Chain A
Amino acid sequence: MSEQSVEFALGDDYPEYRREVAKVCADYPPSYWEYLENQPPSGSYPTKFVEALTKTGFLAALIPAQYGGLDLPVRGGAAILETIHAAGCTAGPCHAQMYTMGTILRHGSDEQKDKYLPKIAKGELRLQAFGVTEPTTGSDTTQLKTRADKVDGGYKINGQKVWISRAGHSDLMLLLARTTPADQVEKRAQGVSTFLVDMRLAKENGMVITPIDAMINHNTTEIFFDDVFIPEDSLVGQEGRGFRYILDGMNAERCLVSSETIGNGRYFLRESIKYANETKRFGRPMSASQSVQFSIAQAYAQLETADLMVRKTAAMFAAGMKCGAEANMSKILSGEASWACAQVALTIFGEAGMNKSSSIQRKWREARTARNSPISPNMVLNFVGQHVLGMPRSY
């Protein structure tokens, strides 16, 4: 590892933002989320919550001031998302608004930035969909089969994407598609391009969005492209370099989603400790039993550990350092820690936690999902084994 030094704050950083976010979240109690979950196919979009958050400007946390954003570093966004989840709400339906724009910011043309970023910052345009994964390729992203063929004035898209969350509630989508066939490039990562797709137009041109019924309310979808025309100016950056652009944004994304996961962990711990201290069993508080107490303390220690890795990653990202290892480690540590918190909570609450009116079971499902998504823990271990520890590529 190369010589590197970063500094970051401990404790509740960005306290003013945390306070404001918590105020908004207080208006969206567990019953709000339960109601949404009961809407078919697997929940409906928390429109009011997202509108309230949008009004605060927090979703524009990472957008530079010149485009009307808050100009915060990644850590600022992380503190906001963590707070939302710690309050029992979920930022999943809108977190992509915070970071997907990073690809345009870093690689888009001036025209694209001027055209889209101010509206994204204001919330007038929703950029919440990120079209990467496909049914037949999963984590093997460079094998993606969706094609973008050059035609007069633009591209024709053919293919299929899956697990594209919020696509039904977004105006824009960042789409990854192959512009040069895989057998005509030196490396598989080449020949793939990134597009900023105006979904409103694309829907008129043959793009079909189908909701997926899932165990969590993430409004996730499948998207089918059948000769869907998109104009030339949809291309972000250079043709064929799209995979790189997506990777550039991954570390920030991992930092941010890890923070949500940590927020969930804080929610579980707070509720569990309160419940275990207040609930008497066998003549004493549940928390007097070491089986309860130690499992909470263990989960808490894991959560605090993961929290430091997230802070470190964000500090490295802000300093322009390579932080792929740390971002991946944040993801797996936060996922495991939050899951430990979730399991403890469900065990301690027992049936009270399984009731559909309880947020414990809802958050527990979220916590399990966070371990698989957006990156598989196996891919994290592959990354660490190969790129950090120098072992051979095993897949």
Chain B
Amino acid sequence: MNEGTNPMSDDLLMMRIDDDDYHEFRDPLRALCDGFPGTYWRALEDKPADQRYPAEFVDALMGSGFLGALIPEEFDGAGLSLRIAAVILETIHSTSCNAGAAIGQMYLSDILVRHGTDKQKQTYLRAIAAGDVRFLASAISETETGDDLAQMATTAEKRGDVYVVNGAKQWANNALHSDLLLLLARTSPGTPDNPTAGLTAFLVDVNTAIKGGMSGQAIDSMNNDGASDLVFDGLELPDDAVIGEVGKGFDYYRELAQLECILYAACASGDSAFFSERAVNYAKERVVFGRPIAYNQGIQFPISKAYVEVQGAKLIGNKAAAVYDSGQQPGPLASMAKHMACEAAWQMADACFTTHGGFAFAREYDIERKWRDARVMQITPQGSATLLSDIAVNDLGMPGLS
């Protein structure tokens, strides 16, 4: 190309793609995950809801240092890019494993990095980076209000030098296995212009809270995602539990949600890799009507089609990470990344399920377990409707729900 005629603007963001990259992360992670095969995860699912937590797997991940990828180096984290954090999660999910029990450790502390006091940073970030303190859970949504956070009923009332929390949270996953919890509660009423004003973010010491004022219960759900309800009954939080400014919690949560979306998109891409590998291998091995079923376009095309969607979705995930890593807020692009990755993963999961025929139901193949996970990921932590709405309103300029 003739440099002299290059009309490319210098101010456009460049995106780099490596299709087979970061082996220094992928290889040791795969080795770690190999220690937790399908038998491990299936045995957990056989247990009662409150005993399903993959403690040994989370211990191993905590010890590996990978979960401190995003914590800045000044707090002894790895200070890596979001792209690499995504690679880590994608790799975990490409195996029989599921990172859901530990994923919070990777990104929840971002709220402390951005908005925490010096004391909060000094007290917690190093310990989180080292895996000594677990920050795995957030308590945001509620039974009655779901995604309509402006309507949340949990309150934190200032009394003297403490905040008193009353209310109930649902889907506070992993809260009972964490040392720290991010809590969003109302400290003052919203305004007509800004109904989500007056929500405040708190850092809750779970071990203290559980001794008085907070109780939790595991939810028995169709996948092993550490789901639990929390009840706050006069929980007292010290002044210094507030993260950032009082009343700004929703804005901080929105920032965090972008990070969360990009990381969950990576999990979904990992699941897709799991399903496509299993689907292709099985289709090539399984002989029916005298030849491998992969010869049948009825089997092959859904796999190929889903694979194409997965490759596209990965690019959106990479783009969102590239934007984030350049220091900009990806905004609705993060929603797009999660939405497309989860849709593609579901398509691939279902193609894999169909390919396996009756064996898809057999638990020993792990297809049905990962398939359930893939379906749930379309709904949580942000569901398709929320994500599409974010894109429609905040990117395309259509009206929001009023």
Binding site for B on A (CB under 8 A): 1-17, 65, 70-73, 76, 269, 273, 276-277, 284-285, 287-288, 290, 293-294, 296-298, 300-302, 304-306, 308-309, 311-312, 315, 318, 329, 332-333, 378, 380-382, 384-385, 388-392, 394-395
User: Is residue B191 within 8 Å, beta carbon to beta carbon, of the partner chain?
Assistant: no
User: Is residue B296 within 8 Å, beta carbon to beta carbon, of the partner chain?
Assistant: yes
Q: Which residues of B contact A389 (CB under 8 A)?
A: 276, 280, 303-304, 307
Q: A8-B14, A269-B396, A394-B297 are in contact. List 18 more A-B contacts (CB 8 A).
A: A1-B19, A3-B20, A7-B17, A9-B14, A10-B319, A10-B323, A73-B1, A76-B7, A277-B399, A290-B389, A293-B388, A305-B340, A308-B15, A380-B308, A381-B301, A381-B304, A382-B297, A388-B304
Q: Which residue of B lies closest to A270 (CB)?
A: B396
Q: Is the interface of A mostly helix, strand, loop or mixed?
A: helix
Q: Report the separation of the CA atoms of residues A9 and B8 in the bound assembly, to the nearest whole angstrom.
A: 9
Q: Which residues of B contact A315 (CB under 8 A)?
A: 17
Q: Which residue of A lies closest to B7 (CB)?
A: A16
- Once the chains bind, are B391 and A5 in contact (CB under 8 Å)? no
**Shortest beta-carbon distance, A33 to chain B, in Å?**
26
A-B pairs with beta carbons under 8 Å apart, 11 shown: A7-B17, A10-B14, A65-B2, A269-B396, A294-B392, A296-B398, A297-B395, A309-B315, A329-B311, A381-B304, A391-B280
**Shortest beta-carbon distance, A260 to chain B, in Å?**
18
Set A71, A290, A395: member contacting B1, Cβ < 8 A = A71
Q: Which residues of B contact A8 (CB under 8 A)?
A: 14-15, 17
Q: Which residues of A contact B294 (CB under 8 A)?
A: 385, 391-392, 394
Q: Which residues of B contact A308 (CB under 8 A)?
A: 15, 312, 315-316, 318-319
User: Is residue B128 within 8 Å, beta carbon to beta carbon, of the partner chain?
Assistant: no
Given contacts A71-B1, A277-B398, contact A332 B301 (CB under 8 A): no
Q: Report the separation of the CA atoms of residues A288 and B389 in the bound assembly, to the nearest whole angstrom.
A: 10
- Once the chains bind, are A3 and B18 in contact (CB under 8 Å)? yes
Given contacts A294-B388, A389-B276, contact A5 B18 (CB under 8 A): yes
User: Is residue B28 within 8 Å, beta carbon to beta carbon, of the partner chain?
Assistant: no
Q: Which residues of A contact B276 (CB under 8 A)?
A: 389
Given contacts A13-B12, A73-B1, contact A300 B301 (CB under 8 A): no
Set A294, A333, A392: member contacting B292, Cβ < 8 A = A392
Given contacts A9-B8, A16-B7, A391-B294, contact A304 B336 (CB under 8 A): yes
- Once the chains bind, are B385 and A304 in contact (CB under 8 Å)? no
Q: Which residue of A lies closest to B339 (CB)?
A: A301
Q: Which residues of B contact A2 (CB under 8 A)?
A: 19-20
Q: Which residues of A contact B1 (CB under 8 A)?
A: 71-73, 318
Q: Which residue of B lies closest to A274 (CB)?
A: B397
- Once the chains bind, are B340 and A10 in contact (CB under 8 Å)? no
Q: Which residue of A lies closest to B296 (CB)?
A: A394
Q: Which residues of B contact A298 (CB under 8 A)?
A: 388
From residue 319 to 337 of chain B, which have CB atoms closer than 8 A to chain A?
319, 322-323, 336
- Once the chains bind, are B301 and A301 in contact (CB under 8 Å)? no
Q: Which residues of A contact B315 (CB under 8 A)?
A: 305, 308-309, 312
User: Is residue B365 within 8 Å, beta carbon to beta carbon, of the partner chain?
Assistant: no
Q: Report the separation of the CA atoms of residues A76 and B12 in the bound assembly, to the nearest whole angstrom.
A: 15
Give the 8 A-B CB pairs with smallest separation, nearest first. A308-B315, A305-B312, A287-B398, A384-B304, A9-B12, A297-B391, A385-B304, A297-B392
Q: Which residues of B contact A297 (CB under 8 A)?
A: 388-389, 391-392, 395-396
Q: Which residues of A contact B2 (CB under 8 A)?
A: 65, 71
Q: Which residues of A contact B319 (CB under 8 A)?
A: 10, 308
Q: Which residues of B contact A302 (CB under 8 A)?
A: 312, 340
User: Is residue B183 within 8 Å, beta carbon to beta carbon, of the partner chain?
Assistant: no
- Once the chains bind, are B304 and A10 in contact (CB under 8 Å)? no
**Shortest beta-carbon distance, B363 to chain A, in Å?**
26
Q: Which residues of B contact A276 (CB under 8 A)?
A: 398
- Once the chains bind, are B301 and A378 in contact (CB under 8 Å)? yes
From residue 362 to 402 of chain B, which have CB atoms closer than 8 A to chain A?
385, 388-389, 391-393, 395-399, 402
- Once the chains bind, are B18 and A4 in contact (CB under 8 Å)? yes
A interface footprint on B246-282 (CB within 8 Å = 1, 0 otherwise) = 0000000000000000000000000000001000100
- Once the chains bind, are B284 and A294 in contact (CB under 8 Å)? no
Q: Which of B283, B303, B396 has the most CB of A within 10 A?
A: B396
Q: Which residues of A contact B311 (CB under 8 A)?
A: 309, 329
Q: Report the separation of the CA atoms of residues A179 and B8 in the bound assembly, to the nearest whole angstrom.
A: 44
From residue 1 to 32 of chain B, which have CB atoms closer than 8 A to chain A?
1-2, 5, 7-9, 12-21
Given contacts A71-B2, A290-B389, A304-B316, contact A10 B305 (CB under 8 A): no
Set A10, A65, A305: member contacting B15, Cβ < 8 A = A10
User: Is residue B300 within 8 Å, beta carbon to beta carbon, of the partner chain?
Assistant: yes
Q: Which residues of A contact B12 (CB under 8 A)?
A: 9-13
Q: Which residue of B lies closest to A287 (CB)?
A: B398
Given contacts A273-B397, A389-B276, contact A329 B18 (CB under 8 A): no
- Once the chains bind, are A17 and B399 in contact (CB under 8 Å)? no
Q: Which residues of B contact A378 (CB under 8 A)?
A: 297, 301
User: Is residue B313 within 8 Å, beta carbon to beta carbon, of the partner chain?
Assistant: yes
**Shortest beta-carbon distance, A247 to chain B, in Å?**
20
